[in-house]
Structure 1
Amino acid sequence: MSGRVAVVGAGALGLLATKVFIEDGWTVTTYESRDYIGGLWKDSDDSTISVHATTIFNSSKYRAAMSDFPFADNDDDYPTAAQLHEYLERYARHFELLPSIKVGTKVLNIKRDGEGWQLVARKTSTGETLTEHFDKVCIATGSFNTPRWPTLEGLDRYHGRVLHSIDFHRSEDFKDQNVLIVGMHATAQDVTNSLSENAKHVYLSHRGGLLLLPRYIEDGTVFDSSVNVGVTFVMAWMTRKLPALWNWMVDKILQKASMKAFPVIPEAWGLSPAPSCAVSTPLMADTLWPHLSSEFAEPVPPINRILGPRSIELANGRVLEDIDSIIYCTGYHFSIPDGLVTEDIHPYPGNSLGQPPNLYRNIFPLHPDQSICKSLAYLGHAAITFPGFVQHELIAMAISQVFLGNSPLPSYKAMLNWRTVNLAERQAMIARYNPREGSTFYPVLLNFGDHLQWLDKTAGTGLYSNLSFPLFNLRAWRLWWQDKELYSLCLKGLFTPVLWRLFETGKRRAMPRADCRSMIVRENERSQEQKMRRIASKKLL
């Protein structure tokens, strides 16, 4: 037996971490403060972050799934919030995770105790306090915890309702209202879609520059299916060696896709020019577009000041009258719940909200005591532009291998040097592309190629060693010789998350080759079936 691991949080990240640790031989106890699993993916009516009933996932189900548990055939191509929560519940039942999870149990404090960790938790129903000890701890509470509240001049003069999207639950509360939404991205899209059932008009106040993308490309396939393993390896190499050229190429490709999908975007909306995708995440805008086209939702400039009880002046001098409610869709600071860990190992010490976390690889504490670094880890504070949950599953695999001692961490000096380089790269990106403060150039974003290759090596997936540079790779030639169909699907087919379970390396657990091959073939078939259905539906219109 490997030892005892505590996982804090049973949302998507906590569930996949629980599963990874169990399959690696750990005894796992997972704590969840809510009375249910699935975290923010269950639409809730309290003041905790959650999806809205109208939320649609931005990754297709063919790329979004865990590595060994595909979405169901009857799930939408882009799963709804309800389907995602059901998927997570099925995942937990299928892998028998529920006995390891204590719902309704809030972790209050985690502190070093000898060579292990003392965890204090409280049952939310009874107030009973529990104290337990663990060898390792993985904090998987997610990254969004603290709402952003930009300052609006003259807000004290306003007499309407003001709330953050974290407290938006019922569109009926806004029946026949004029609503001003502060922000124009994914959450604003969800809230606008919900308000369309009851509100009179919605204004989307934004600071300019947003690229709108479709969920489907011209041939009917889902947008994220075109990036196969071969393209991913090219992307990884270029983001390390020629990042400026790669970013220029991506901007051009995505701008072309945007213009094809949304050819008539009024200049008055102020969406062009959009910032580089290197520092600003495009919006998958299929849900918002009908509301923009119908003029129910109207993009407007930033707010200059509040003039009176229901009057708001915009940056261009226009005054909006009869504004009944203001909803902040301004996102969240990356953080962890208060009180979990002491300041010397806190990923956001002091007033560092909005800054990259004080973590090696945005995962492990930057601490001179190596025993602390190798026994405490954070999920959700490292990210790359890669679709779905699997990148976080890979991080959980890497964490487990570090905890087991199979993948060593570098020295404290080397870890500090990594962070110095990471911060320098980020500052260079800021200087080159000038992102707006609070934009979607999140402080947890890492260099794509460097991070992906580190994950592959640390988790031990074998994808790079078996498939990269195939013309000069003996392992790739061996796969081609043994199974040409599988070889072709791996490099040129759908980059299904199942591929991360294909190769045995002695680290993370691989699937049996026959089962894995069968699942890869089936996922490619399902992707092609989806394309045919899409083409057929367009012909019938």
Structure 2
Amino acid sequence: MKMTLSNGRIAIIGAGPSGLAACKSALEAGLEPVLFEQSGHLGGQWNQGAPHSGVWKAMHTNTSAINTRFSDFPHTPGLPLFPNNQDILAYLERYAAHFNLLPHLRRHTRINKVARGPKGQFIVWSVDGQGAQRAELFQYVIVASGRYNKPRYAQLPGLPEFEGMVLHSFHYRRSADFAGQRVLVVGNSISGLEIASELAQRADVTVLSSCRKPRYILRKTLNGRPSDCVAFTRAAAYTGQALPPAQAAEGLKQLILRTCGNPADFGAPRPQEDVRAAGISMNDQYLDLVQQGRIQPYGAVAHFTASGVVFQDGSQANIDAVILATGFDLNLPFLSDDIRETIQAGPDHIDLHHHTFHPCLPNLAFIGLFPQAGPYFPVVELQARWIAACWSGARALPSREQMEAGLAEFRAFRQVRYETSLHEMATRLAANVGVVPSLERYPELAQELLFGPLTPAQFRLEGPHAQPGSLADYRECLRQIGCTAPAPPTEEQIAHLQILAEALPHEKALQDLARELQAEPVL
């Protein structure tokens, strides 16, 4: 096979949201991308029906529209606050067309291998839909192949002997397939709660829900606003810096208890007191359906029999089907063994500086391949912008020492936590790109920028590639969630801000805003 030097300087693997944002950011920075997609259509997971998509037809987003978008491309007017998966695919199609990404897209092209080449470059082996193989040399490679496409099958005792249907949540498509059955859903991640709740809407389906570790459950809306606009804010990021981890986590738990209640209040298993150990999931209907008796909650599975299940508390039930909502393994089969060993690729994590770069592979970057609480769209776009800025020379690539420190920080992080959060990642990456909106520059919006949503629109207000219409776009995002006019500060906000200002004296904007809010009327 003859090797060619590609005209495109950047190979981008995957045409889902991460890959599309990477392609657009590369073009914006004056670079030349080639976007590889194994299927015949862009969209990644949102391309419902593709072999690599676990999205089912009736699925809606659990993140709000203002956070499930990119910074400089609003949704069409009239979109529901929580769109369905077809809405998001249509949005990605419009995004690709608007920014002229399609000429850079190679459909039906699977990446077989990525390995180191000469002079810090990479050799990319691919095969197209006709089986033609190709090897190309690229200066840079971005891996944007998705985090949730390899189902993890829990090794549960007796499951091979169970005679009913067994499938992973990745392969769930519609509730009608389970008409008249008794169905056990194993796992209380978001997909597990969503599927159990959807099945429980049918009168002819009996739903059992099992979890090994009970979680706190957020609803999609808190106090009339999307929960991703309330829980994931710049103030939350500051809180993580200002307070000991246990104290910051307790504040989040109290928010959940005030607005959503403890699962035990509805008849579901009680989570551990420490929300960091328990974890958080999200669903609007699950707890109510448990309370109504439509979903029967259980603890961990002990073992299966030919016709049923025995739980660890000794209770048992006959069932017809099992749906395993047991998560996903990180899936990077195309990376050479050398690269996989360098980045310590495992089933859950890869060792990277800010989940993006590795000091030994500065021309290789990764987007969206980390577990996160909260919407991914804002974060993957910021990753894409940061990578493009570094490789184009607009921003300095982190030094080897900085990346080594980032690796050490991440290794310490993963000893105590599994996933990061939207506010942690967005604020960190926005600082890396140089697009954190200044509280001083927008005093009339300072309260919203601090306590309001981290919608991507705000990351075009200033800094590289700022957009003149971004302020109007940001205000429209606020309007969509009910922020039609600046609201007087609440006592809780003032107290919270005072704690942050005292703990972070170097943040002058916090000091100024704290003094300003204390002088205003209180709700």
TM-score (norm 2): 0.83
2:432 maps to what in 1?
Answer: 458
**Matching residue's letter, 1:341:** L
The DSSP-based 3-state class of the residue aligned with 1:528 is: coil
Report the CA distance between 1:330 and its aligned residue.
0.4
Cα deviation, 1:136-157, whole Å, max 9, x if unaligned, reads 1101001223321111212233
1:358 to 348, 351, 357: 351
Matches of 1:335 and 1:154, distance apart in 2: 27
- Structure 2 residue runs without a partner (length 5+): 1-6, 486-523
1:344 to 318, 338, 344: 338
1:525 to 470, 475, 479: 479
- Distance change >3 Å, CA 129–CA 6, structure 1 → 2: same
Q: 1:137-176 alignment to 2 at 5 Å?
A: 137-176=141-180
Matches of 2:154 and 2:13, distance apart in 1: 30
- Structure 1 residue runs without a partner (length 5+): 368-372, 431-440, 468-475, 532-541
Report the CA distance between 1:489 and its aligned residue.
5.2
Matches of 2:22 and 2:50, distance apart in 1: 26
2:325 maps to what in 1?
Answer: 329
**Matching residue's letter, 1:365:** H
1:437 maps to what in 2?
Answer: none
- Distance change >3 Å, CA 71–CA 388, structure 1 → 2: farther
Report the CA distance between 1:64 and its aligned residue.
2.5
Matches of 2:33 and 2:247, distance apart in 1: 45
Q: 1:282-301 alignment to 2 at 5 Å?
A: 282-301=280-299
Cα deviation, 1:364-402, whole Å, max 9, x if unaligned, reads 2342xxxxx221101112465453411111111111122
- Distance change >3 Å, CA 284–CA 383, structure 1 → 2: closer
**Matching residue's letter, 2:313:** N
Q: Determine if contact 2:39/2:108 at 8 Å carries over to the other structure.
A: yes
- Distance change >3 Å, CA 251–CA 490, structure 1 → 2: closer
Report the CA distance between 1:244 and its aligned residue.
2.4
1:310 maps to what in 2?
Answer: 307
Q: Any runs of at least 4 consecutive aligned residues in structure 1 with deviations exceeding 6 A, and if so which?
A: 347-351
- Distance change >3 Å, CA 174–CA 382, structure 1 → 2: closer
Q: Determine if contact 1:347/1:357 at 8 Å carries over to the other structure.
A: no
The DSSP-based 3-state class of the residue aligned with 1:419 is: helix
2:114 maps to what in 1?
Answer: 110
- Distance change >3 Å, CA 288–CA 231, structure 1 → 2: same
Cα deviation, 1:205-255, whole Å, max 9, x if unaligned, reads 11242212222223x2222333686524533532xx532221121112222
1:78 maps to what in 2?
Answer: 82
The DSSP-based 3-state class of the residue aligned with 1:179 is: strand
- Distance change >3 Å, CA 447–CA 499, structure 1 → 2: closer
Report the CA distance between 1:80 and its aligned residue.
1.7
2:254 maps to what in 1?
Answer: 252
**1:265 maps to 2:266:** yes
Q: Determine if contact 2:352/2:406 at 8 Å carries over to the other structure.
A: no
The DSSP-based 3-state class of the residue aligned with 2:266 is: coil
Cα deviation, 1:255-294, whole Å, max 9, x if unaligned, reads 221229x79412xx31x13463435542222143454344
Matches of 1:277 and 1:422, distance apart in 2: 20
The DSSP-based 3-state class of the residue aligned with 2:385 is: helix
1:408 to 391, 396, 407: 396
1:534 maps to what in 2?
Answer: none
Q: Determine if contact 2:10/2:139 at 8 Å carries over to the other structure.
A: yes
Matches of 1:159 and 1:279, distance apart in 2: 35
Matches of 1:317 and 1:51, distance apart in 2: 34
The DSSP-based 3-state class of the residue aligned with 2:142 is: strand
2:501 maps to what in 1?
Answer: none
Report the CA distance between 1:529 and its aligned residue.
7.8
Q: Determine if contact 1:228/1:491 at 8 Å carries over to the other structure.
A: no
**1:497 maps to 2:491:** no
Report the CA distance between 1:300 and its aligned residue.
1.2
Q: 1:36-55 alignment to 2 at 5 Å?
A: 36-44=41-49, 46=51, 48-55=52-59
Q: Determine if contact 2:300/2:312 at 8 Å carries over to the other structure.
A: yes
1:16 maps to what in 2?
Answer: 21
Q: 1:468-487 alignment to 2 at 5 Å?
A: 476=440, 479=441, 485=444
Report the CA distance between 1:16 and its aligned residue.
1.2
Backbone CA RMSD of aligned residues: 2.9
**Matching residue's letter, 1:11:** G
The DSSP-based 3-state class of the residue aligned with 2:150 is: strand
Q: Determine if contact 1:397/1:459 at 8 Å carries over to the other structure.
A: yes
2:209 to 191, 204, 209: 204
Matches of 2:161 and 2:373, distance apart in 1: 41
- Distance change >3 Å, CA 300–CA 232, structure 1 → 2: closer
Report the CA distance between 1:499 and its aligned residue.
0.9
1:68 maps to what in 2?
Answer: 72
- Distance change >3 Å, CA 348–CA 83, structure 1 → 2: farther
Report the CA distance between 1:357 and its aligned residue.
1.0
Matches of 1:156 and 1:446, distance apart in 2: 36
Number of residues paired by the alignment? 477
Report the CA distance between 1:38 and its aligned residue.
0.7
Matches of 1:447 and 1:529, distance apart in 2: 21
- Distance change >3 Å, CA 73–CA 294, structure 1 → 2: farther
Q: 1:208-247 alignment to 2 at 5 Å?
A: 208-218=213-223, 220-226=224-230, 231-232=235-236, 234-238=238-242, 242-247=244-249
